[in-house]
Amino acid sequence: MLRALGCCLLAACLVTACSDGNGPRPQAAPTTSLVVEQDIDWLNNGIQDVGYGIDAIPFTVLSASTVIIDVLSAGAYTPALDAQIYLAADDGSINSMDLMYTNDDGEAGADGSTQELDSYLSVELKPGDYVVFISGCCFSAEEALAGYRLVAGNDPLSALVPGDVNGSYRVTITGQLAP
């Protein structure tokens, strides 16, 4: 009789994952990586390069976790960037208050970076939507939100066209992300 009761308790424990009575234990979302490889172009006013573009890379965090943003450019690409990144929470309308972190010169990450000119962040993020803004150093938060940085002149964006490649990069975002 005791043996039968023990088997029943064991079976019940296996079926409910031996929870504390509050249901099955939650499973952590798997760690996934988003890899984006692109170029940053100069912006040209028809006469000269007057600025450069800033890329926006959206991603979604599924559950609270450490998210790593690892840039590879300097020492790996020609032309290479002295990369800078901003991280923003995306609540549907990104403004300067949504910008959470920035990094210019990071550390060698797991992506093969050999120079500190590559940006790197390791941050704890809550579930939600985020955007990484990336380009060559040194752009402001306002320029990140505008999507470009002017280094000469004051031409309106509508008057500018993409020029030659300013620099190439690969960014790897790792965490509990939506596939």
Q: What is this structure's pTM?
A: 0.79
- Bridge partners for 57 per DSSP: 132
Calpha distance 152→135 (Å, rounded): 17
Residue 102: the pLDDT is 93
**Alpha carbon distances (Å) from 120 to 10, 48, 76, 127, 171:** 47, 32, 15, 20, 9
Query: Do 33 and 147 form a contact (C-beta atoms < 8 A)?
Result: no
105-133 tens-digit pLDDT: 876 666 666 677 889 999 999 999 999 99
15-67 tens-digit pLDDT: 334 444 455 555 556 779 999 999 999 999 989 999 999 999 999 999 999 99
Domains of the chain (ranges plus CATH)?
Answer: 32-175 (2.60.120.380)
